[in-house]
A and B are shown apart, each in its own frame.
Chain A
């Protein structure tokens, strides 16, 4: 499901959450026409300012196995908790539908600072609470607590951000949101302060204007031991780093990315990706191969990964005859102008669509492909944010990385 919503006025994060949640939850909403019709029952303050002409909803691939909910966490109409909201998505694993995991976007303080939270190992089996989009703000659904938490679904394993997704400023001036959600993935991106038909502004690399994209995706299982019976949840997601920064340019570069899956060193905040859990299967003396949770990991495509390669500069070995055993590798992406890839018949030049894969090779874990399961690609070529193109009979929309489009890389999401 593809959702692009543009507003002509600043919106609060809770309004954006409730609108997006309603569009996903209400299966009758398949395009902006049906959404606009349905909006007659929406709370006036929520639907105010929606630019239906420049918005777009496509539900060709229905995320019908995803449970959704937005709830006021406390139900207070004023005071400390009145802006506390939870936007929750509960997914099932593609090959293990009894196993669920939760993605939460929590607004958890008076200033609306908003954080991501992930969980699996569910102890709460009821439907996740949601308030109707017709209900007034600060109303809530359900008891004050779920499993002892403040209206939060509790999982036995969870991890939360230390950095904001939204600050007090960016949580109240959202002008557009782009969402790609299927039964196996969720991609979220917002722009702020300025309304444009494309839903993208002109300022990048600044979380006051541009937040995300955040990618949460299941991936195919490459390793023979990666299977449901070993309790492995094949989900990767953008690491929770500096405020508003999702998939970003430093994920491609030599600096700040190489430490990846090192079990002993590194800085967890710099690594671009994490996995929900993996087995530590590194060859060893002994027979214990424990599961490791929330492991930071590396990403790449094909044979080029950022656990040992900088993905945008390459590392050619010495070309002389004296160095037959140098390392040598090419570029996964080119950031320079005019560098082009060949078409399949070699007669034309074009762009690259790289499958996106994750792995943690320091643990002996080959990981898998997010693209195989969720259909999005890494785009490399000249483009403008929001550009669309057709590739193998499927339309794609390009979301720029957090640093923008001048690096010539973006995330190509299917419009379906």
Chain B
């Protein structure tokens, strides 16, 4: 399910999560027209933003319906800054196992108005596991400050609490969202938001600013590579884009994510863009204990390059000795450098599978693209450009630092 929503005036993050929750949970919303019909039928409150929706430049496609995905929205406090939004998804090859993403802002804990939003994950919830949408929710008809709060659902089991996502203070992204993009299937949930004036594509001109752009965020399942990575060992094949300690609001696609390797052996775990829900520490060893570790940071992989070894924009091709590294760039940030077409007669762009590895813990990892159809794009583009590959149309979402590096995340419109 592909969602692009542009707004003529800003909405809040709380309104955004309320709107996305109702769209996901309402299977009849298959287009913008159907969204508008739903807004009328359900008496949407203006906080959800449909009243200021730029319908001509918005789009909903529900060709691939996330029928096994549920969302739940509640509010712990009667402020614009407090919400608890849970998304429940199940494992593609282990359909009795669920995992949860938790988008929350914790005003109820006595924080200030500029409390930062967090993205958390967990293996279970306290209420309604398997059927969270059936629990009492904050209705779309009430205002953001209504006192009806809905069932209080919290993460439990193995849980990871994020650091922060975006700010609500003056000028903060949390109060200033003018475009939402989301791609939701039963195997992934990713989104990005843009704050401030946007064009028809849903992007403005400012990147590399946490008050303007946050993306890509979310959770992605992967195809399992390792023989020990299986449901019998309770491995949940999902990685998420974590809040990072030094630039939490960025999401995936800051320059460091393209141009720096990832030290999976470092104790500083909050610089890698991805964490895995859990993995087996399967590094060969003396002994017979291979523990399961929760929430390790992992290295992403673009095409044939794992960021454990080098970044994908790295090259060393002129080895003059037999011990020299000899590798080329997988992705190329240089202007006018092109990848070949499949018949080698023309040049074009690169479209590379995205995956992860953590070989320091003996994991070859997995492939996100095989399960989610999300690719990494490399070539000249403008944010929001669309390309057709095979029988699919992809929307190009820039990374946090924008498009001038020629890297993007290609999202299927389906």
Q: How far is the CA of A121 from the CA of B171 in the complex (A)?
A: 67
CA–CA, A339 to B341, complex, Å? Answer: 45
> Across the interface, do A340 and B345 meet the contact criterion of CB distance under 8 Å?
no
A230→B268 contact, CB < 8 A? no
> Which of A259, A267, A282, A304 makes the CB contact (< 8 A) with B328?
A282
| Chain B contacts for A287, CB-based, 8 A | 338, 345-347
Q: How far is the CB of A288 from chain B (nearest CB, A)?
A: 9
Q: Which of B25-33, B78-86, B285-293 contacts A (4 or more CB under 8 A)?
A: B285-293
Task: Please tell me if B282 contacts chain A, counting CB pairs below 8 Å.
Answer: yes
Over the window 251-272 of chain B, the binary record of Cβ atoms lying under 8 Å from chain A Cβ atoms (1 yes, 0 no) is 0000010001111111110011
> Using a Cβ–Cβ cut-off of 8 Å, how many residues does chain A contribute to the interface with B?
75
Nearest residue (CB) in A for B290 is: A342
Q: Are A262 and B347 in contact (CB under 8 A)?
A: no
A233 to chain B, nearest CB (A): 15
Known: A258-B326, A303-B306. A283 touches B338 (CB 8 A): yes
Q: Is the interface of A mostly helix, strand, loop or mixed?
A: loop
Q: Are B324 and A316 in contact (CB under 8 A)?
A: no
Query: Is B336 engaged at the interface, CB distance under 8 Å to the other chain?
Result: yes
B336 pairs with A348, CB closer than 8 A: no
Q: What separation, in Å, do the CA atoms of A177 and B233 have in the docked complex?
A: 42
Judge whether A359 and B342 touch: CB under 8 Å: no
The interface residues of chain B lying within 8 Å CB-to-CB of A284 are 337-338, 347
Cβ of B161 to closest chain A Cβ, rounded Å: 19
Q: Are A303 and B284 in contact (CB under 8 A)?
A: no
Q: Across the interface, which residues of B come within 8 angstroms of A255, CB to CB?
A: 322-323
Residue A240 CB within 8 A of the other chain = no
Q: Tell me whether A308 and B286 are in contact in the complex, defined as CB-CB below 8 angstroms, given that A279-B344, A303-B359 are known contacts.
A: no
Contact with B along A357-377 (1 / 0, CB 8 A): 001011110100000000000
Residue of B nearest to A381 (CB): B284
User: For window 337-377 of chain B, which residues contact chain A by CB distance below 8 Å?
Assistant: 337-347, 350, 357, 359-362, 364-365
A363 vs B261: C-alpha distance when bound (angstroms): 21
Number of interface residues of B (CB under 8 A): 73
Binary A-proximity of B216-232 (CB < 8 A = 1, otherwise 0): 00000000010110101
| One of B262, B280, B303, B319 near A342 (C-beta < 8 A) | B280
Q: How far is the CB of B311 from chain A (nearest CB, A)?
A: 9
Is A352 on the interface with B (CB-CB < 8 A)? yes
Indicate if B317 sits at the interface (CB-CB under 8 A). Answer: yes
Q: List 25 interface pairs A-B (beta carbons < 8 Å), by A numbering.
A: A225-B341, A229-B343, A256-B323, A264-B320, A267-B322, A282-B329, A283-B329, A283-B338, A286-B347, A287-B338, A287-B345, A320-B268, A322-B268, A325-B256, A325-B260, A326-B265, A328-B263, A341-B284, A342-B280, A345-B233, A346-B233, A349-B287, A361-B328, A363-B328, A364-B330
Known: A256-B322, A285-B336, A287-B347. 8 other contacts (CB 8 A): A222-B304, A281-B340, A283-B350, A302-B357, A303-B364, A328-B265, A329-B359, A330-B360
